[in-house]
Amino acid sequence: MALAFRLDGGGDGPAAPRAGTLTTDRGEVPTPAFMPVGTLATVKALTPDEVAATGASITLVNAYHLCLRPGHRLIESLGGVHRFMGWSGPILSDSGGFQVFSLARLLRVDDQGVRFRSHLDGSEHHYTPELAVEVQSALGVDIAMPLDHVLPGDAPTPDQRDAAERTLRWFDRSRALDPSPALFAIVQGGVDEDLRRWHALELAAREAPGYAIGGLSVGESKSEQYAITEVACSELPVDRPRYLMGVGSPEDLVHAVAAGVDLFDCVLPTRLGRTGSLFTDNGRVNIKAARFRERPMALDPACDCTACADYSAAYLNHLFRNEELLGYRLASIHNLRYIQRLCERMREAILKGAFDPFAEEFLARYQPANEAARTEQRERWQARSRT
């Protein structure tokens, strides 16, 4: 499947903010771009038209989950995952390496693959790099991820090196199959900067059509996440897209774009939305709080999503207090639109050559859920600005 990437602005160095365009057979994706997560071929509670209306031009599905249920061959027989879920734009699929290691009951990991018991029914499966490619090819996605060996961020360095080397061998086996989707390579290595640098260089030499940075946002500190992202980007080709896997907090996106990341995905915006936690430029707010009970204006007057354009904060508060399904849907739409607008604003700032002041102003105003994280990110940004 054809895949091309061009830089439209920025990119003044290997680890610098950049705006680009990712072109697939099913359409273009302006970057930086966030991919709403449709794990089971659906972004929870939303129709494809609603997802597209948030500004999303690409979505993500999970091969592990779809392989287990309803089965990749069934989806293939029904015309592929695009037709199955009613999404006409590009789709990226995660092989499910993270889910295999986090959800399933592991039985054995070796160079052949992963033997595990399903988290659904306990049935035994042998997931190999070849099967991961077979599943994603059958789904008919535009971009596929190879099977990778994922460890917690605090795993010992010898274990991280073993996993990184195995991920490298698995990628070589996956690529040898010449899959129909564009097959990205995944950089692993935990929080060891030397190991991450080595792995990125090894994969860069293989000239993949794109690169993912995996194994982050799995328990490491924010400062470690930001540092490792920058290290990986500094060794990856500037003419290929970079995808930071599983990261979706607004402040994390700003730091990652500063380091040269192009693509993101995460369940966080919709998962938080269903709990009533909504994004604003000042940080998350709890729409169930009493202060919104009588507020007649929109939650965020600057937001153009349907939740803010058509409804009051008081109405959203009412929906959540009464556990009405519409509240979960509107909150999910708002959070996805907020993240898409953030990507749009970052792209505009990069094209104008004004990303640094944009980021500095945003990070000074945005209050993460954790105050210690806020202090940490502010100090890191100030240190970066001085270099």
Cα angle value 80/93/274 (rounded, 5°): 100
Do 256 and 279 fall into the same domain? Answer: no
Our count of domains for the chain comes to: 2
Region 255-266 average pLDDT: 98
End of a domain among 204, 231, 266?
Answer: 266
Portion of the chain with pLDDT greater than 70, in percent: 95
Predicted local distance difference test score (pLDDT) of residue 193: 97
pLDDT confidence tier of residue 315, bands split at 50, 70 and 90 = very high
Catalytic annotation present for 94: yes
Region 266-277 average pLDDT: 98
Do 152 and 278 fall into the same domain? Answer: no
Is residue 360 a part of any domain in this protein? no
More confident residue, 7 or 371: 7
End of a domain among 266, 291, 309?
Answer: 266
Do 245 and 277 fall into the same domain? Answer: no
pLDDT digits (tens, 9 = 90+) for 47-77: 999 999 999 999 999 999 999 999 999 999 9
Query: Does position 384 have pLDDT exceeding 60, yes or no?
Result: no
pLDDT digits (tens, 9 = 90+) for 298-314: 999 999 999 999 999 99
Do 260 and 281 fall into the same domain? Answer: no
Do 291 and 244 fall into the same domain? Answer: no
Region 162-166 average pLDDT: 97
Portion of the chain with pLDDT greater than 90, in percent: 88
Which of 192, 252, 265, 300 is flagged as catalytic?
Answer: 265
Do 22 and 162 fall into the same domain? Answer: yes
Do 237 and 279 fall into the same domain? Answer: no
Catalytic annotation present for 25: no
Do 231 and 277 fall into the same domain? Answer: no
pLDDT digits (tens, 9 = 90+) for 220-249: 999 999 999 999 999 999 999 999 999 999
Do 348 and 224 fall into the same domain? Answer: no
Predicted local distance difference test score (pLDDT) of residue 383: 55
pLDDT confidence tier of residue 161, bands split at 50, 70 and 90 = very high
Task: Residue 206: give its domain's CATH number.
Answer: 3.20.20.105
Which of 94, 142, 148, 300 is flagged as catalytic?
Answer: 94
Least trusted range by pLDDT, from 26-35, 240-249, 283-292, 372-381: 372-381
Do 219 and 70 fall into the same domain? Answer: yes
Query: Does position 374 have pLDDT exceeding 80, yes or no?
Result: no
Is residue 326 a part of any domain in this protein? yes
Region 149-167 average pLDDT: 93
Task: Write phi, then psi, for 315 (nearest 5 degrees).
Answer: -70, -40
**Which domain, by its residues, includes 299?**
273-353
Predicted local distance difference test score (pLDDT) of residue 33: 98
Q: Are 25 and 2 in contact (CB under 8 A)?
A: yes
End of a domain among 215, 235, 266?
Answer: 266
Is residue 374 a part of any domain in this protein? no
Predicted local distance difference test score (pLDDT) of residue 386: 40
Do 198 and 316 fall into the same domain? Answer: no
Do 186 and 300 fall into the same domain? Answer: no
Is residue 169 a part of any domain in this protein? yes
